[in-house]
Amino acid sequence: MDIINKFTNAFWSTHIWLPPNTTWADIAPGSRPDVVHADYRDLIWPIPLAAVVMLVRYTLERFWISPIGKSLGIRSSRPKKAANVPTLESAYAKSSHLDHKWLAPLAKQTDMTERQIERWWRLRRAQDKPSTLVKFCENTWRCIYYLYSFIFGVIVLWDKPWFWDVKSCWYGYPHQSVSNDIWWYYMISMSFYWSLTATQFFDVKRKDFWQMFIHHMVTLLLMSLSWVCNLHRVGSLVLVVHDCADIFLEAAKLTKYANYQKVCDAIFAIFTVVWIVTRLGFYPRIIYSSSVEAPRILPMFPAYYIFNSLLLMLLVLHVIWTYMILKIVVDSLQKGLMSGDIRSSDSEDLTDSSGNVRVANGSTRTKAKSGNSALAATTTTATSGGGAVNQRKRGNNSNANNHTTDATTAAK
């Protein structure tokens, strides 16, 4: 116990987390009659609130979003199931990606041709993927939340001086009161990220599963530390700036699943503009204030450099992501439609991007799969407040208006 106490005292040293000549007792709740300080014990509330958020999500998806998706003709069925072959199932359990070195041994064990094994493997992978309706429900829920969070954040911050003058984040620090609306804004935002952390294990699986998991945990850690250190003013600004662009990203994705391609393209164009304005316009203004204006107002302390370094790292990521977004947009304008989702596996693309399109003469044509998806390639990069930058594969794009294939060719 003595070792734990020593470690705790060393970790929460006032020399690290607080300005000079300030102690934890000075910013404890009730320490000053004119200031309502943030209470670190309130950080337990987002966990039970996350259960409420998940209940709200389930209710909306079950009784509202899903029926809307079905009325739009979005598929709720999954692909044809693969035959039950125990030997192949055992190999698939080891890895869902088919190693071509396995083909010959598996063919001998199962009396199947290599071509049949490859086909079985594609069907088996597609079997594990969620339906388009499930993905539509997930993205619609996120779009609703980000829309709510942004509107609520603007309403909460509208009458706050730091919303209009970022320098106000630093005046009077660390003795800055937490109003009830700021308290709710912080708690609900944290509960949403807690819910994402929990439901990520049941939601649509992406290639960047663990990167996003780490992103959610780091976001929660930063929000928690900013709350403990009474840095809720700058924290609330960062939250509202990041929520804005995510609305349009999720909206573009759900219109894609609903097969409103032109609407999807238009919304994605708006997303690109909003992303640049908020992530490379408003956010750098916050960075300028924290890097240049804050040292002129406050005495510096180690925690300031920790937080500011993380904010600067996030800005660097925004620049990289913006370059990637613009590059993808240019490629898409040159080569065709935005389709597919390169965050997902190839099997998912088979069942999602290769959907059938009816033509005038009643025959069915299949859209050629676009390997370079402008919409989905930015799904990872547009997450609010952090996450890893993932290298995306870019395939050769096919123009869906000029080239058609049958379903068998698309599956290959």
Task: Return the CATH class of domain 80-128.
Answer: mainly alpha
DSSP-based helix, strand, coil % in the chain, nearest 5: 65, 0, 30
Over residues 34-50, the pLDDT tens digits come to 999 999 999 999 999 99
Buried b (16+ CB within 10 A) or exposed e, 168-182: bbbeebbebebeebb
Any idea which of 27-36, 101-110, 292-301, 352-361 has the lowest mean pLDDT? 352-361
**Pairing of the two strands 356-358 and 364-367:** antiparallel
In tens, the pLDDT along 80-139 reads 777 888 888 888 888 777 877 888 888 888 888 888 888 888 888 877 777 889 889 999
Residue ranges per domain, the chain? 33-70+131-337, 80-128
When pLDDT is cut at 50, 70 and 90, the band that residue 375 belongs to is: low
Please indicate whether residue 400 or residue 78 has the higher confidence score (pLDDT): 78
pLDDT at 210 over 50: yes
Give the relative orientation of helices 302-335 and 209-228 as an angle to the nearest 10 degrees. Answer: 140
pLDDT for 393 beyond 90: no
Contacts 24+ apart (CB under 8 A), 390-398: 390/207, 390/208, 390/211, 392/324, 392/342, 393/342, 394/331, 395/370, 395/371, 396/371, 397/331, 397/332, 397/335, 397/336, 397/370, 397/371, 397/372, 398/336, 398/368, 398/369, 398/370
Cβ–Cβ under 8 Å, residues 224 and 237 = no
Taking alpha carbons only, the member of 376, 352, 340, 382 closest to residue 134 is: 352
Is 227:235 a contact under the CB 8 Å cutoff?
yes
Give Rg (Cα) of the chain.
25
